[in-house]
Amino acid sequence: MEISIKNDFDFFSVFPSDEACIQYLEHKRWNGKPKCPSCGNSKDNWFITTRKVYKCSDCRKQFSVIQGTIFQSSKIGLRSWFYSIFLLTTYPGYPSTRLAKRIGVQQRTAWLMLQKIRETMRDENSKKVLSGIVECDEAYLGSKPRRDLRLQKRMTEYKRDNDREYEHLKAAFGIIDRYSSQIVIRKFGWNRNCLTTDIALHLLKKHVTTISTVNTDEHPSYFRIPQHFHSHHVIRKNRFVNRTRKNGTTYKTRVTSYVDGKTHVNGIENVWKHLQDMEKAVYKQFSYKHAQRYFDEFSFRWNRRTASFGNLLVEVIDNALDKVITYGELAKWNNEVQTNAWLN
Ligand SMILES: [Zn+2]
């Protein structure tokens, strides 16, 4: 169902009230015939006016249109939800503190709403397959604090207690299709040592077809690519060459190059610049634990940067209809660092 929204004024004329949003959702999910989510019955269900819910004529359970969606058991009005989706998909990121003031809720409520909306964008990023000429590269967001002695102490204790390094960096692995500019960004670890040949190959096999040409830099973890893909082009950014002085003696010097014919990774470097700008300018920082959600949000917007505001809103609402997400699932620390669960 198409809705034409070009700006904020259009949004409020299409969705003037919570009732308009409920009507829109009912039309989208049921098309005029309310369907019970428990038993699937869509015949003779009636509306209880005082409670504003439907009652099933078969199993006698009460249900509403937000049951089984990410809006389930939320006390926030549906128009606030839609407006949050509208803001998150049209701005380059939207912080929970600002959203809280915009729609009049607490910051922690706004944070939960935004994380649930980001979760609807996850599938797109984790299942996307690119082909043709692709570039891949890795980036590290955040900085390692060196002069803060208290934090250094905490980092040492953390390493001792958890047998791994403190999460000061968010390591992202990105792939871009050079002609369609579609991207995939995946979190793969917490420091520079985390990119192994296995992880690099796993992510490339998952997101790139085998007939593709892969451009990378000279990172040693990419050396197994030629065995699995059509071709592998390496741009050697840092090279050491021997040169001769006038008096005949030789010396070694470093040569930096970023492009060699059609071999380069500048497309994905451009993506990293935008991603780092989003973190610095909009969110200031995001945690290692939730980093993948922010990558999903970023790549969702990037891959649809020519789409209209209305289409973005409709697509997120579509994805939100068959998911139920709880705070517990979002906030739990499921030890994914040890189990490599984030790679699936
Ligand atoms: Zn029923």
Q: What does the pLDDT look like over 115-148, one tens digit per residue?
A: 999 999 987 788 899 999 999 999 999 876 667 7
Claim to verify: residue 274 and residue 157 sit in the same structural domain: yes
Claim to verify: residue 280 and residue 186 sit in the same structural domain: yes
Claim to verify: residue 145 and residue 219 sit in the same structural domain: yes
**With the CA atoms of 19, 21, 23 and 24 taken in that order, what torsion angle do they form, in degrees rounded to the nearest 10?**
170
Q: Is residue 111 part of a domain?
A: yes
Indicate the residue among 88, 123, 158 that finishes a domain. Answer: 123
Structural domain containing residue 171: 127-289
Q: Is residue 54 part of a domain?
A: yes
Write down the pLDDT at residue 3: 84
Number of domains in the chain: 2
Closest CA to 298 of 268, 269, 274: 274
**Above 60 in pLDDT, residue 200?**
yes
**Above 50 in pLDDT, residue 266?**
yes
CA distance 135 to 267: 7
State both tokens at 245: 């002085």
Write down the pLDDT at residue 343: 64
**Above 50 in pLDDT, residue 339?**
no
pLDDT bracket for residue 317 (50, 70, 90)? very high
Nearby residues of 141 by Cβ (< 8 Å), 6 or more positions away: 169, 170, 172, 275, 276, 279, 291
Claim to verify: residue 136 and residue 84 sit in the same structural domain: no
- Strand-pair partners of 177: 134
Distance from Cα 60 to the centre of ligand 1, integer Å:
6
Q: How far is the CA of 334 from the CAs of 91, 113, 169, 290, 342, in angstroms? A: 31, 21, 19, 12, 10
**Residue 184: which CATH number?**
3.30.420.10
Distance from Cα 32 to the centre of ligand 1, integer Å:
17
Q: Is residue 190 part of a domain?
A: yes
Instruction: Tell which wins on pLDDT, 313 or 160.
Output: 313
pLDDT bracket for residue 167 (50, 70, 90)? low
Distance from Cα 29 to the centre of ligand 1, integer Å:
16
Claim to verify: residue 236 and residue 137 sit in the same structural domain: yes
**Above 80 in pLDDT, residue 1?**
no
**Above 80 in pLDDT, residue 36?**
yes
Write down the pLDDT at residue 331: 81
Distance from Cα 27 to the centre of ligand 1, integer Å:
19
Provide, rounded to the nearest whole percent, the portion of the chain with pLDDT above 90.
59
Q: Is residue 108 part of a domain?
A: yes
Sign of torsion, CA 152 154 160 164?
A: negative
Instruction: Tell which wins on pLDDT, 336 or 22.
Output: 22
Distance from Cα 28 to the centre of ligand 1, integer Å:
19
Closest CA to 102 of 121, 82, 73: 82
Average predicted confidence (pLDDT) for the chain: 88
pLDDT bracket for residue 337 (50, 70, 90)? very low
Provide, rounded to the nearest whole percent, the portion of the chain with pLDDT above 70.
94
CA distance 113 to 119: 10
Claim to verify: residue 139 and residue 103 sit in the same structural domain: no
Claim to verify: residue 117 and residue 154 sit in the same structural domain: no
Q: Is 127 exposed, middle or buried (0-12, 13-18, 19+ CB in 10 A)?
A: exposed
Q: Is residue 87 part of a domain?
A: yes
